[in-house]
Structure 1
Amino acid sequence: MNTSIRLMALLLTAVVLQRFLFDQFRVDGVAADAFLVLAVTTGMVCGARRGAIVGFFAGLVLDLLVVTPFGLGALAYLVAGALGGLLEGVVVHSARWITMLVAFVASAAGVLFFAVVGSLIGTAGMVEGHLITVTLLVGGSSAVLMLPTRRAVLWASADSEPFRAAVHS
């Protein structure tokens, strides 16, 4: 099975997890974002280019499931996936928490990008006081969920490009 098919299977798994698990467990009205976790983790494991591609398709799926301007999720998650890959490439890893911090930063950036661009194109209520809470909770959940997701992305990309040694630890 090639990498694209495996990544599509992971995206389908993210849909199921998001709709039937993560959306049911909210903290302060905020749910973990399986699509964002998949985009950022793919970027961290496979590089910025593949992270951007997976982020784009994960964002498109999100756009089909929520009521926001179509394409906003695709654009924001493309940026988050690429940023995850770029940050992973420049950070020296001496501890697992640094890898988790990269996931936190990339996810938080994706949430902020989504809110700011949504606000710029006229969507009301995107940038408000609750945005900080959303950013911190989604970023934190992404940092934790990145660890098991990394294993799945490693499986999906097993027959493709070489991996970074730091990601395997």
Structure 2
Amino acid sequence: MEDPLVLGRIIGEVLDPFTSSVTLRVVYKNNSDVINSCEFKPSQIVNKPTVHVGGDDLRVLYTLIMVNPDAPSPSHPCLKEYLHWLVTNIPATTTATFGHEIVEYESPRPTTGIHRIVFVLFRQLGRQIVHAPRWRHKFNTRDFAEVYNLGLPVAAVYFNCQRESGWGGRRA
């Protein structure tokens, strides 16, 4: 069975091939888990999700990145990757709320086409000071990982999102 991250082109367009080694559970309100290639409507993802990071050692820290590689539209993704959320220094066995939010959560609101929204988890080498990027558009997960010496991801999951009838919004 082929990896859903490969089928969804997350591996290749956003991430290099990696082996998942940590549990990453992303849950939106109403106990809706993010499962690779599932679909959420913008109205379901207005509030930031609860993100559970696995592991068994609180001394191990992680960085969580949420991006949209299809902004502003899948046919013309000139703003990719659009950064929706960045949290660092998340201890293992906790939720992302225990980390340091570098870029606050911004809910995806696609206006055209089906967008892939990707959560990526990296293991840090230790506590880090990370500077917020100047803008959310044209973020690059690979470059960010290289600058902060994060290596390959340890987990990732994505969902699909598209505009729903009557739902306004200008962001990707």
TM-score normalized by structure 1?
Answer: 0.33
Q: More strand by proportion, 1 or 2?
A: 2
Structure with higher helix content: 1
